[in-house]
Structure 1
């Protein structure tokens, strides 16, 4: 058996990364793609490796040199018109070699687990394409397969239909072909196709014709848990570096993205905190039905969006400002408020990160569940004065919850002491009796005129993609200042439309919140069965858990990521934990939670 690697392309979409080198010279976490691929191929007992070069081919040949002489016999085929042709021509240049042996065909911009080659080579099928079930991040050639894994059609980009994606598989661009298939079918069709269509085509089109004529020649092998990625642009490179990071760097690579985890194949994201049920409401269907209008039109300005926010959350227009996520409003507010800020740690660090460290007055609960009451806060800040006090309720990450009547008592205390109270109630809709726990009522805001109430709509409504948050206060002066600090078009059309139609779906939202509380109770019961976890009660949509010996939080998180493709949040480094081993676990729907618990139990049952 031999391998043919197509490495003639220019890789224009990678910009400056391929200005002076072909794509396979790209380093991913310090290792060039070509080195990784040749090392993987060297374990397959191949007769030779043929590399088709073109753009910066001389540099590639010089780089490879004789470093693999004791492992592989490497030959080169040159494509002198790489800038005027596509991969069908590069492959045609190697057709003589293809007819001489069974062949592995690979594209050089791939990074993949070595096990994929083992699976492909050892599989009894002679002509085989590795494929992966379609996901939204995928681009390029798709196929459809029948129940016997026969490839019945190749779907070029022009024929791609989003309505059919549940039936699509993406080609991984790693194939195995028998010498007989190549000599008797593929090469003759390749010659005929190129003669008619020219050289600016793709070799998959030849496979498409063969699949039409005889759908039993080429079979598909869907991969399961094996990792792979195709690197076409800068974002692909960034994602590949996260997927294939070394153990000491992998969490930094993922956490540093701050979201966008839908780009990672089949990953379950247990870091980000959103309502798992409201997204099933028909509100999303209505937004989807209006997608083309919304993306093609300008959103309204601040005046209209303030009116819509006022309608949705029942607060006077002068008392509310909508933001491009709560993050925009937090930034503006922290820059605006003078004096010292009182905080409780461990906490959501977005607020203190926007302040100078010397302006912070920090309270840390002195118990192992990080519980505290308003009396604890009053006692502390009586002795350690602050001009402003932040209260996140329920708190993040502890899940500590303070009832409404106590919040009001604390707000009254703050008013008497000339302290501005900031209450972030982004998670309050997940609390028991949640409809009676919100401060977003005109009469409450007016009773405590210096109180500010922040709410991230992303979290409780499960729509982080539209970027929406609100800040409310009867202090109309500070609300007016915040409105001037943010852009007049700070909200996009999707966000505006969500507020326009939300009131039609309020009953759906209430049902979603009620359903969530049931899910949380079940999830907590299951978490408590894991022997190495100590679960701290929560009124939010997450649990803070302590990881008990012999494990560390990092160890569990790495195993969940590497063995089960589940991403979790390590809280051990947060200020206030003093290095103790803590994780924050989001709560998703029952199906995802079952997969999560099964993964934890597998670790629990296999203690070394």
Structure 2
């Protein structure tokens, strides 16, 4: 067994990093956009170096071994049997969701989400001329601080005559829930009852904290999941978003054909050779070993973050995270909007976090903090956040 260290990370400034090189000064600690500061699994780097040595980077054919890697990974690690013929490759999960909406709706149709939720859901819905409807997640217990689904409200939204799609985020970004099989089954039953199709974004599926377990929506019984669409990618887990590779999994052949046409209409049907190579190496035994150690490190970062907030910012509750590497904190005790808090932390304290309002009205008084970096860096970022919040609270 190889032991990997995540306590240090290379300098990313000057590499055209979206996360780092957009900062207004070199003293800023960026804890915002969802990519990690860790280098990827070394096996991926080695595979890419071999491919680069060839020196020709023309149009790429996706080989059988690519599909076999996807099927083997989800079967072995998540108990989900995928057939090769059910997979459509594309450049990313966001283009995938946009193409699915284009394929399965008409302008004016309703698409249901669960706010607060990943901001690109909103733009995908809007860009396809559909109406966004939110089945807002709720926190019933302010002591426990975790999100639940309001199933009564969900059924009301699903029963609307123009409701066509339900976009699930599993695990949920930014709320941190890893939905249980029971919760997924209730969602599936309600969607089947009202003839609304489920589209599940499972890009964060590998990031479960501690002993939480991810359940693929597509692994539910056939009568509940057959017509669903799952969008997944190794990009978050292995920090390879720039290689632009993702998959759509759908067992319904007619629906899959419609999605395939939309992928072509949106011109996101060609992938680059590095993404193809990287996915196959990521979904290997070595990749699984590296990922298990990374999850342990991020789980430790989360525990330390909780301890920091309890000691230094007890008035700012942290939502209980079961998955992702994105902490979600409630700043409603402050008399500022989330945008104002983000701006002041960046300008006055040189730490960059995400304002919760970008994830919908439900996130107005929240901040999202990226924990996927060495603890020493995260700790310094938290100190700056604490200094900023203390100044705003005075």
Q: Report the TM-score when normalising by structure 2.
A: 0.76
Q: CA separation in 1, counterparts of 2:169 and 2:280?
A: 28
Return closer, same or farther for 1:605/1:260 CA change in 2, 3 Å cut-off: closer
Partner residue of 1:538?
321
Deviation of 1:570 (Å): 1.1
Partner residue of 2:365?
581
Q: CA separation in 2, counterparts of 1:549 and 1:577?
A: 16
Deviation of 1:452 (Å): 1.4
- Deviation sequence 1:350-391 (CA, Å, 0-9, x none): 223223566333322455768223734544335545222122
Unaligned runs of 5+ in 2: 1-10, 76-81
Partner residue of 2:78?
none
| 228, 232, 255: which one aligns with 1:478 | 255
Deviation of 1:519 (Å): 1.9
1:107-506 equivalences under 5 Å are: 137=14, 259=18, 261-262=20-21, 264=23, 265=26, 267-274=28-35, 279-287=39-47, 289-290=49-50, 292-293=52-53, 296-298=56-58, 300-302=60-62, 304=64, 305-314=66-75, 315-338=82-105, 339-356=109-126, 359-365=131-137, 367=139, 371-373=147-149, 375-376=151-152, 378-381=154-157, 383-384=159-160, 386-432=163-209, 436-439=213-216, 444=221, 448-484=225-261, 485-486=263-264, 490-502=270-282, 503=284, 504-506=286-288
Partner residue of 2:291?
509
Query: Match of 1:557, SS?
Result: helix
Contact residue 535 and residue 545 of structure 1 kept, 8 A: yes
Deviation of 1:569 (Å): 0.9
Deviation of 1:284 (Å): 4.1
Partner residue of 1:599?
384
1:518-533 equivalences under 5 Å are: 518-528=300-310, 529-531=312-314, 533=316
Q: Number of residue pairs matched? A: 355
Return closer, same or farther for 1:440/1:387 CA change in 2, 3 Å cut-off: closer
Return closer, same or farther for 1:294/1:604 CA change in 2, 3 Å cut-off: farther
Contact residue 234 and residue 279 of structure 2 kept, 8 A: no
Contact residue 415 and residue 448 of structure 1 kept, 8 A: no
Q: Which has the larger radius of gyration?
A: 1
- Deviation sequence 1:243-273 (CA, Å, 0-9, x none): xxxxxxxxxxxxxxx9353465454322222
Contact residue 374 and residue 406 of structure 1 kept, 8 A: no
C-alpha RMSD of matched pairs (Å): 3.4
Deviation of 1:532 (Å): 5.2
Query: Match of 2:235, SS?
Result: helix
Q: CA separation in 2, counterparts of 1:444 and 1:275?
A: 34
Deviation of 1:447 (Å): 5.3
Partner residue of 1:252?
none
Return closer, same or farther for 1:576/1:445 CA change in 2, 3 Å cut-off: farther
Deviation of 1:457 (Å): 2.7
Higher relative contact order (CA 8 A, sep 6+): 2
Query: Match of 1:535, SS?
Result: coil
Return closer, same or farther for 1:136/1:273 CA change in 2, 3 Å cut-off: closer
Contact residue 348 and residue 388 of structure 2 kept, 8 A: no
Query: Match of 1:399, SS?
Result: coil
Unaligned runs of 5+ in 1: 1-133, 139-234, 236-257
Deviation of 1:495 (Å): 0.7
Contact residue 167 and residue 200 of structure 2 kept, 8 A: yes
Return closer, same or farther for 1:316/1:586 CA change in 2, 3 Å cut-off: same
Greater fraction of residues in strand: 1
Contact residue 113 and residue 168 of structure 2 kept, 8 A: yes
Q: Report the TM-score when normalising by structure 1.
A: 0.52
Contact residue 167 and residue 199 of structure 2 kept, 8 A: yes
Contact residue 411 and residue 451 of structure 1 kept, 8 A: no
